[in-house]
Amino acid sequence: MRDTLTEPARRTPVLGEYEVVVLGGGPAGMAAAVAAARAGRSTLLVERYGFLGGMGTAAGVTNFCGLHANVHGDIRQVVHGVADDLLQRIDALGGLNAPHALFGKTVAQAYDTAAYKIAADDLLADAGVQVLFHALAAGAVMDTASRVQALLLETKSGRRAALGRTFIDCSGDGDLAAWAGARYEKGDGAGHMLYPSTMFRINGVDPRRAGRAWEAIPRLMAQAEAEGRWRFPRKGAIVRPQKSGIEWRVNLTQLANADGDAMDGTDALELSEAEILGRQQIASVAGFLKEVPGFEASYIVDIAPQVGIRETRRVMGHYLLTERDVLDCASFDDTIGVNGWPLELHLKGDVEFRWPKIPESRGFNHLPYRMVVPQGLDNLWVAGRCASMTHEAQSAARVTGACFVMGQAAGTAAALALDAGCSASQVDVAALQSRLEAAGAYLGRN
């Protein structure tokens, strides 16, 4: 069998020319696009699905993590700016839960995915962002070795090229950065990445009888395994109610390849296998849940459209956020916002949390601007889980809160770079910080 095939040359139609092109419609991409458009820049956001939200909708995560931090024992929201605008819109649609406690150390906040999708559409339309749905990024065209000229897209209208003066990679997988030649890492140095999961939701739960079922379920799982009646893909069950108490979200799958390592979300064949394995595991887990009081009549109402990927490429930037930065609540002069989530390592068969000292510490670390600026590229930023972090630090700063922070900073920085005619690494950080704070972002400096 041939290893390669030479395609005929083609003339690719230009979709349009933009000042800012954003790849990926998750929290990082939404925040980046909104920030750039509000700065008066023509902005295109490219999304592979027909809706926004990233892993929060496409992978069915259904709750925001990292919006809050435990600040010396006081749990408070520390991510603001564009995030607030989205939360307010979801809440106005009746789709936002009050924050719920986790481990007695922090909180997360659940939402309805339908409300999220509608709210996200409204947020981007209000900012003046042009959104292109059902478009799969396929490659990059370079002006020079350090400047991206165009993002190549496969659409229902055929292949198109989006020309841009600046680009922001919020793909989660660092696709655009990798095509542009950026250095990146995958995994812990030995190739081991955080394990993916497939999320699902069940309906038909009796909320009165279920009560605080999330506290009892780990014990019931251990008992069922000890009796040989059920086997589970991992420990660390997350089973929580949605806005309506009859509907609960379930995070209890773990997807490994034939070697037992985490499925690689950048490998098309492994990703396909992961989708099938996730649904197989869901069928088993849903059967077990019928044994839980209050869940006897429950049924699967939704399986996420795609596998929930936690880690693939991490692009090497001008600073690499580390585990110690997270655990020691590090400060940086070039802070663009904060991360208040602990390390959340999805290891083989389990989930391990590592926390800063709580309540002794302020409970959050700064996120430096340098981590969203790839080495060797002048007009490209990376934001979200593909930004510049070690494997361990990425397990914390990959969650929603930090993605909003990085995205808003990248979109604002792109606008400033266009104003000044400078590269990403030359952006005036003090001006960036001032503009972020004027837009409502919290940088953790006070």
Which of 144, 177, 189 minimizes the C-alpha distance to 383? 177
- CA–CA dist 92, 240 (Å, integer): 22
> What SS3 class is residue 239?
strand
Instruction: Please report where in the chains the tokens 């999220």 appear, as a residue.
Output: 116
Which of 270, 303, 336 finishes a domain?
A: 303
C-alpha closest to that of 234 among 381, 345, 122: 345
Contact 61, 112 (CB under 8 A): no
Does residue 445 fall inside a structural domain?
no
Q: Do residues 280 and 243 share a domain?
A: yes
Q: Pinpoint the alpha helices (H) of 81-151.
A: 82-92, 113-127
Peptide bond into 359 cis (omega under 30): yes
Of 253, 282, 303, at which residue does a domain stop? 303
The reply to whether 350 falls in a domain is yes
User: Could you tell me which of 194, 51, 215, 68 has the C-alpha nearest to residue 133?
Assistant: 51
Question: What per-residue confidence (pLDDT) applies to 190?
Answer: 81
Judged by DSSP in three states, 77 sits in: strand
User: In this structure, are 211 and 181 located in the same domain?
Assistant: no
Residue closest to 413 by CA, chosen among 375, 386, 377, 379 = 379
Spatial CB neighbours of 358, under 8 Å, sequence gap ≥ 6? 70, 73, 105
Pair of tokens at residue 234: 């991992």
Dihedral angle, C-alpha 43, 339, 309, 243, nearest 10 °: -90
One domain for residues 27 and 143: yes
User: Could you tell me if 290 and 254 are in contact, meaning their C-beta atoms sit under 8 angstroms apart?
Assistant: no
Task: Dig out the tokens for 444 from the structure.
Answer: 């953790």
**267-304 burial by CB neighbour count: b if 16+ within 10 A, else e?**
eeebbebbbebbbebbeebbebbeebebbeebebeebb
pLDDT of residue 28: 98
Statement to judge: residues 103 and 224 lie in one domain: no
> In the chain, which stretches have pLDDT less than 50?
none
Domain that holds residue 273: 200-303
CA angle 91, 97, 99 (to 5 degrees): 115
Do residues 281 and 393 both lie within one domain?
no
Task: Tell me, yes or no, whether 344 lies in a domain.
Answer: yes
Q: Could you tell me which of 290, 282, 284, 291 has the C-alpha nearest to residue 223?
A: 291
Which 8-state DSSP code applies to residue 426?
Answer: G
Residue 177 sits in the same domain as residue 317: yes
CATH of the domain at 24: 3.50.50.60
Q: Which of 189, 191, 195, 174 is nearest to 388 (CA)?
A: 174
Distances from the Cα of 353 to the Cα of 68, 102, 258, 356, angstroms? 16, 12, 26, 10
Examine residue 382 and state whether it is found in any structural domain, yes or no: yes
Whether 354 is covered by a domain: the verdict is yes
Which pLDDT value is given to residue 244?
87
Is this structure's pTM higher than 0.95? yes
* Domain count along the chain: 2
Of 123, 138, 127, nearest in space to 93 by CA: 123
Q: Give CA separation, 359 vs 75, 151, 365, in Å.
A: 10, 46, 14
User: Which residue is it, tokens 């083609």?
Assistant: 10
Shared-domain flag, residues 287 and 158: no
Given CA atoms 271, 272, 275, 276 in this order, what sign does their dihedral have? negative
pLDDT of residue 274: 97
* End-to-end C-alpha distance for the chain, whole angstroms: 62
Spatial separation of the C-alpha atoms in residues 278 and 51, rounded to whole Å: 22
Is 7 inside any structural domain?
Answer: no
Domain-ending residue, one of 251, 268, 303? 303
Residues 174 and 61 in one domain: yes
